[in-house]
Amino acid sequence: MTDAVLARVYKQSDLDILAKEASIPIINGLSDLYHPIQILADYLTLQEHYGSLKGLTLSWIGDGNNILHSIMMSAAKFGMHLQVATPKGYEPDPSITKLAEQYAKENGTKLSLMNDPLEAARGGNALITDTWISMGQEEEKKKRLQAFQGYQVTMKTAKVAASDWTFLHCLPRKPEEVDDEVFYSPRSLVFPEAENRKWTI
């Protein structure tokens, strides 16, 4: 009865079943593993701002979640370097890391994974973060807030970034993830990024 389905699900496996059984295209609107439509909006925003994606360095500071996984699966293919800082125990999925390393090798880009937020921000064009507590993780809030101490994006973080740094966040944002000074600064692209979800979808 429809031409396509954009599905937001909890489990990636539900999408896989949908895609296998459907006779029409199934688009991942969000799953526990990936969030590709958000990343398309992010890349459109960066392309509008910088003129090109090739050669940019993305600095991810935060959780090893579905947003990061989608960046890891695509950044190298657009010629972008990726520097990732996650707290110990919150690293990206190992199988995705393995694939991302392969893509970086094939495309001649750099992929660095670490636990130091300032090191990940060093020389970064785009500083990117996301919620520390994703849907379904509410019970872990206290534990996560403790684990992510020192991961807030601030002007101190930006100081080590590239001189033309910008900031991205897929929203809704909480102050512990990024302070007001960065979030509302002219370098913050969060509102064009939010609008661009409309155009990428």
Residues marked as catalytic:
170
Cβ proximity of 55 and 89 under 8 Å: no
Instruction: In whole angstroms, give the CA distance from residue 182 to residue 13.
Output: 37
Rounded Cα distance between 150 and 89, Å, is: 15
Strand positions, DSSP E, 9-146: 26-30, 57-61, 81-85, 111-114, 126-129
**How many Cα atoms occupy the beta-carbon half-sphere of 107 within 13 Å?**
22
